Structure 1
C-alpha cells in the first residue's frame, strides 16, 4: 500500500506527538465553544484555552518534528523503513482490539474535556485562592469572608475577564510562588495595589459613581474608655453626591469620581498615605495644582514621579479585605449588647486585650480569656460572679474580633493595612484635605467637617441632645482644647 506521507513521518515518536497535538487542539476548540455560549465568561477560561492547552499542543508538534528528523537520520544511515502494524478488521481479534481502543480513545477525550473544565472551574473558585494555592493569604481570605463583597469571587476583582490581565496577575505573583515554596515571603504579604486593574473595569461594573447623589444618614455609637463606658452618639449626613452633574450641584464626596472632573496626585509612599501634590482639572479644562506646605516636591522629584488619576480604590482601598480596628469593633458589639456595656471598664479592657502582642493566634485567644477574667476577679469579684454569663459572652465576642482581624503568624493587624475611608484611625481624607495643601492662587483643600458631612445631632450620656437640621458644631468627647481642629484624628487614635 502506497503511503500518503514520506516514510520519515511513520515512527512512534511522531505518532505520539500527533495524538497529543490532536487532543490538545480538540480541547481548545471545546473550551472556545463553551466560552462562546457562556453568559459570564470566567477569567481562568482564557488561561486554560489559550495558554495551558496550547503549550501541550506545541509540545506535541515539537515531538512530531523531532520524530521526523530522527527518523530521517535513521533512514539516511541505511536502516529499513519502519512498518506499522497492519489492522485486519476481518480478524476477530483485530476487530475487537480496534473497537476497544477506539472506545477508550473517545472516553479519554470526553474525560479530558470534562477534567479540563473542572480544573479551570476550581482554580476560579475562592476556595482555591484562599486555602489551596495561596495558604499564606489566610488573613486576606478570612477578612474577605466577613466583608461586604464576600459573594464576589476573588478573580472578579483581582483578575477580571480576558487573558491579558490574567497573565499580568500571575506574572506579578510569580515571585510569591517561589517565596511560598522556599519560605521567603514577607510577613505580612503587601497589598499589590500597583498591579490591580483600573477600578472602571472592576468596581464600576456594579457601582456607578454618577448615580451617587444627595446624602446618606449615618448614626455612630461610641463608648469612652472609662469605668462607666460613657456612651455618646453622632447622627450625621454624609454627602455622597457629586458624581453626576445632571443631578445638581457637584458638591459631595463622589465629585472626585465625576467623569467630567480629573483629579491626579503624586504619592511618595507605596501605601499612598503621603500625598504632597494634587492637581484638579475641571470640565472646562481649568487646572489647579495644590501642594503641601509641609513637604514640597522638588522639580526633579516631580519629573520622576508618576501622577496617578484618582479612582475608587484611592479611598475604598479595603473594599473586601478589611481589618477592623479594635475600637470600632468593640463599640459596635457594645451597641448591640453582645458585649455588655454595664461591665465596668469593658471597653478599655477589651481593647487592651486585643492590642497585646502575641506570638500565635491560639496563645492570643487563651490570653484574652485569661486577662479579662483576671481583671474582673481582681477588681470586681462580686460582679465577676453575678455577671458570669455576660462576661463569658463578652469574651467570646472579643475572641471573634481577634480571630477575624489579627494574624500574629503573618504579622497582620489593622495597623498594617490602614483603611482610607474616613479619618479616625488613618489619615484617610486628610491625606489631601488637611488644610495644608494650597494652590498658588491661595486656594486651600479644606479640612472643615462640613465639607463631607453635616452633623445633625450629638448627644453624650446623661446630657441634653444637641440638634440642628442646619448642622451642629462637633464637640470632642474629651477636653483636648483645640488640638482636634489642628491635628489629624489618627495622630492620637491610631497610637494604640
Structure 2
C-alpha cells in the first residue's frame, strides 16, 4: 500500500461522522494552505499585510479547531455505537493497520508520526505568529478602524523605523505577558465596539523611558545647541513669510556648566510632580531634588497643601515633554506653514494660506465629505479670486487641493473622534501647555519664588517673527523700535561662546 493510500485510509477511518469529517477537512486544508501561503511569501508574491493576518492567525486557529473536532467526533461515534474502542478500531481500520507489532501497531505509529508533525507545525506557526504580531504592520492594521489614526501618523513619523513593540512592550517576559493580557482586553473591546473614542492619553502602559527612549537617546550625551528655523506665513495676499529662529540649548548642564533642556532628565537630577487626575496637564506641585538629597517643592500659589493620590504622582521622564514622539498630530496652522515651506501649497495663489485654513477648519462629518468640501471650498475661492485662471494657476490649485486633503487625512479621523487639537504636543509652548505647565508664576516654593520662566532659559532667539531668519545677529539700527530687545537677544546668544 502506497503512502498516499495509507493516508487516505487513515483519514477515512477518522471520518466517522460529520464532526470528524469537519475536523479532518479543517486540519488538512489549513495545513496545506499555510504551506502554500508561506511559499508565496518566500517567493515575494504575497506582500499584503492582511495576508499575514490570514496566514499566521486564522489558519493556525482553524488547524487547532480541526484537531479538536477529530477526537470529539470519535467520542460521539463511540457513544452512539456503545462499543469498546478496540472493536470500533477494528471496524474502521484494516486488520493490517491494527495488528500488534513489536514497535506498536501501524495505526499507533501513524498517530505518533502525525502528532509529531502537528507539534512541529504548531511550533513553527506560533513562532511565525509571534514574529508577525511584533511587526508595525500588525499593530497598525489588525484593528484597522481603532488604530488607523496611530498607523497614519506612525508611517510619517521620525520613529517610522522603530517597531511599535520596542516602546509599547519593552523587553523581558513580564513586559511580554503584560502586553498580551492588555492586548486581549483591547481585542474584546474592539469585538464588542466598547473602546473609547478617541483613544485616551496619556498611555499609562508605556514602558519607562529609561528602558525604551534611552536605548538610543542618552540624555547625558546631548551636548551644545541645536538650531531650529520656523517659517510662518501671513494671511495677506502674498502669504508673506516671517521667521522665528531658535538656538535650542539641549545640554544636560553637566558639560556646559549651566542648565539646558535635558537637565530635567539628566541622571544626576530628579524632578517629580503631581497632576490633576494624572492627566499631566494641570500641575498641582513640582519637586526638584537638591544636592543634599532634600526636595524643593513648588506648589500652586495661594492654595492650601493637600495630600495627592499616589497614582497622580510621577517622576518626570522623556515622554512628559516628548508626548507625541511618534504619533504626531499637527496643528492646522503649523501643518499649512510646513506644506507651504516645502512647496506643496503654492504661494503664487493669492491668499493661499488663508483659503487653505478656511477649507481645513470646518468640522466635516466624515472623510468623504471632507475631501469634497476642501476641494469645493478652494475651487470656489479661486473662481472668485482668479476669474481668468491660467493653466499654470490651475495646476498650482490642484497641487494645493491635494496637499490640503493629505493634511486632513493625516490629522483628522472622524470615526475615532480625532479632531484638531485632540492630541496636543507638550514639546513647546505655543499655547498654555507644554513647558508652561511647570514654568509659570503660579507654582512657587515656600519662600514665594516661582519656577523660572525666562525666555532664554532653554533657547536663544536669532529671529522672532522677523523678515529674515537671522535678523537678531545683525546690528540694530537707531530707528528700530525693538532695538533694545534686538540688542539684548543678540548679546545673549553671542556670550554663549565665551
Q: How much has 1:447 moved relative to structure 2?
A: 2.2
- Give SS of 2:276's match: coil
How has the CA–CA distance of structure 1 residues 324 and 204 changed in structure 2, closer, same or farther, with 3 Å as cutoff? same
Aligned to 1:272: 280
Q: Deviation per CA, 1:183-228, whole angstroms, max 9, x where unpaired?
A: 2222111135222221111111111011112110111111022332
Shift of 1:140: 0.9
Question: Does the 8 Å CA contact 2:270/2:316 hold for their aligned counterparts?
Answer: yes
Residue 494 of structure 2 corresponds to which residue in structure 1? none
In the TM superposition, what is the alpha-carbon distance from 1:375 to its structure 2 partner?
0.6
Does 2:249 correspond to 1:253?
no
Return closer, same or farther for 1:255/1:138 CA change in 2, 3 Å cut-off.
same
Work out the CA distance in 1 between the residues paired with 2:306 and 2:418.
36
Q: Distance in 1 between matches of 2:401 and 2:442?
A: 43
Native 8 Å contact 1:236 1:455 kept in 2: yes
Shift of 1:82: 8.2
What residue is the counterpart of 2:165 in the other structure?
A: 155
Match of 1:375 in 2: 381
Q: Is residue 239–residue 253 contact of structure 1 (8 Å, CA) maintained in 2?
A: yes
After superposition, the Cα gap between the structure-2 partners of 1:189 and 1:316, relative to the gap in structure 1 and judged at 3 Å, is same
Deviation at 1:309, TM superposition (A): 0.6
| Conserved 8 A contact 1:384-1:391 | no
Structure-2 separation of matches of 1:81 and 1:141: 55
Mean Cα deviation higher: 118-127 or 148-157: 118-127
Matched, 1:89 2:97: no
Task: Name the residue aligned to 2:114.
Answer: 104
Where do 5+ consecutive residues of structure 1 fail to align? 1-47, 49-55, 68-78, 478-496
From 321, 325, 337, the equivalent of 1:319 is: 325
CA distance in 2: counterparts of 1:440 and 1:151, whole angstroms? 47
State whether structure 2 residue 175 is matched by structure 1 residue 165: yes
Corresponding residue number in structure 2 for 1:329: 335
Cα pair 2:270 2:288 within 8 Å, conserved: yes
Of the three residues 180, 189, 197, the one matched with 2:199 is 189
Q: Tell me the alpha carbon deviations over residues 436-479 of structure 1, each in whole angstroms, 9 at most, x when there is no partner.
A: 32212232222221011001234644x8963238999xx999xx
1:94-118 superposed Cα distances (whole Å, 9 cap, x missing partner): 55x5554444333323222211111
The one of 334, 338, 344 aligned to 2:344: 338
Determine the C-alpha separation between the residues in 2 that align with 1:112 and 1:364: 47
After superposition, the Cα gap between the structure-2 partners of 1:459 and 1:317, relative to the gap in structure 1 and judged at 3 Å, is closer
Report matched runs for 1:399-438 at 5 Å: 399-425=405-431, 427-438=433-444
Following superposition, the deviation at residue 386 of structure 1 comes to 5.2
The residue aligned with 1:453 is 459
- State TM-score, norm by structure 1: 0.72
Matched, 1:285 2:290: no
Relative to the length of structure 2, the TM-score reads 0.72
Question: What secondary structure, in the 3-state scheme, does the structure 2 residue paired with 1:328 have?
Answer: helix
**Structure 1 residues 426 and 326: CA distance shift in structure 2, 3 A:** farther
Greater mean alpha carbon deviation, residues 165-174 or residues 154-163: 165-174
Q: Secondary structure of the equivalent of 1:302?
A: coil
Deviation at 1:307, TM superposition (A): 2.2
Check conservation: 2:462, 2:469, Cα contact below 8 A: no
Asked if the contact 1:455/1:471 (under 8 Å) is kept, the reply is no
Q: Deviations over 1:78-97 (max 9, x none)?
A: x9998999653389x955x5
Distance 2:475 2:259 in 1: 16
Q: 1:350 aligns with which of 344, 347, 356?
A: 356
1:200 aligned counterpart, secondary structure: helix
The answer to whether the 8 A contact 1:266-1:306 is kept is yes
Q: How many residues align?
A: 397
Distance 1:476 1:140 in 2: 46
In structure 2, do the counterparts of structure 1 residues 373 and 193 end up closer, same or farther at CA, with 3 Å as the change threshold? Answer: same
User: What SS does the corresponding residue of 2:395 show, helix, strand or coil?
Assistant: helix
